[in-house]
């Protein structure tokens, strides 16, 4: 039932990323539910330190089987609300199947559709170590006009950029990744919105 009542917490202790057993007992000490989660087998790997939570696909299913769980749609999960606000759990049918050796001159990888239906690849991008370079986004992914016309330069492999250039590029990339949403871009940069507005004015960034 949502919103929940008699919610306990927040708790100061942390759960292990590598897995452990949780048990729910009633006030008579009777075991009501339990889960022994992990990071191997069928357990989703996303919650292992990535910031997303372990979310049950259907709250009416058993807690024990790993296949009844998935990573949450958003970082931090959705405590006190439904697990998947969009109505559908994240699609996990598109997976890596084979990756070229590091010694290959040409990098390639093979994707596998483990489902029964076709999967459109529009908007699918690869992230290296969890980061997506704006320049690597497909042209079909539309950005605000001001960002489409802005040339984003990545940090050079050697040499030094001025701090102003580094900061300006960081702001441009944050705005691009957040599709021009200044509130989200400020959160991504770890600054307040007024600070972002002042810096955008300073670097003549207009949306």
Q: Which residue in 16, 5, 2 sits closest to 48, CA to CA?
A: 16
Residue 173, number of CB atoms within 10 A of its CB:
21
Q: Are 95 and 114 in contact (CB under 8 A)?
A: yes
Q: What angle do CA 183, 49, 184 make, to 5 degrees?
A: 5
pLDDT, tens digit, 9 for 90 and up, residues 105-142: 777 888 888 777 777 776 677 766 655 565 555 554 44
pLDDT, tens digit, 9 for 90 and up, residues 166-186: 888 888 888 888 888 888 888
Using the 8-state DSSP alphabet, how is residue 3 labeled?
S
Tell me how far apart the alpha carbons of residues 20 and 54 are, in angstroms, rounded to a whole number: 13
Looking at domain 94-202, its CATH superfamily turns out to be Homeodomain-like (1.10.10.60)
Q: Where are the domains of the chain?
A: 1-90, 94-202
Per-residue confidence band for 155, with pLDDT thresholds at 50, 70 and 90: very low
Name the token pair of 19.
């897995």
Say if pTM beats, i.e. exceeds, 0.75: no
pLDDT at 113: 82
Residues in the chain: 207
Tell me how far apart the alpha carbons of residues 140 and 112 are, in angstroms, rounded to a whole number: 22
The three-state secondary structure class of 111 is strand
- Asked if pLDDT for residue 30 goes beyond 90, the answer is yes
- Contacting residues for 193 by C-beta, under 8 A, at least 6 apart: 182, 183, 186
């Amino acid at each position: 039932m949502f919103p929940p009542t008699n919610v306990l917490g927040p708790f100061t202790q942390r759960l292990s990323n590598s897995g452990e057993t949780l048990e729910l007992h009633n006030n008579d000490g009777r075991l009501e539910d339990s889960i022994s989660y992990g990071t191997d087998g069928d357990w989703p790997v996303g919650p292992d330190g990535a910031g997303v939570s372990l979310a049950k696909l259907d709250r009416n299913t058993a807690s024990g089987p790993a296949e009844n769980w998935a990573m949450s749609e958003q970082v931090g999960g959705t405590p006190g609300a439904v697990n998947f606000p969009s109505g559908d759990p994240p699609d996990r049918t598109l997976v890596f199947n084979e990756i070229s050796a590091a010694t290959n001159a040409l990098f390639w990888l093979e994707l596998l559709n483990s489902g029964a239906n076709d999967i459109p690849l529009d908007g699918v991008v690869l992230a290296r170590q969890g980061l997506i370079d704006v320049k690597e986004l497909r042209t079909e992914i539309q950005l605000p006009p001001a960002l489409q016309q802005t040339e984003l330069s990545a940090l050079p492999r050697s040499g030094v950029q001025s701090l102003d250039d580094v900061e300006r590029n960081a702001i441009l990339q944050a705005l691009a990744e957040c599709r021009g949403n200044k509130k989200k871009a400020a959160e991504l940069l770890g600054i307040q919105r007024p600070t972002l507005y002042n810096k955008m004015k300073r670097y003549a960034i207009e949306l």
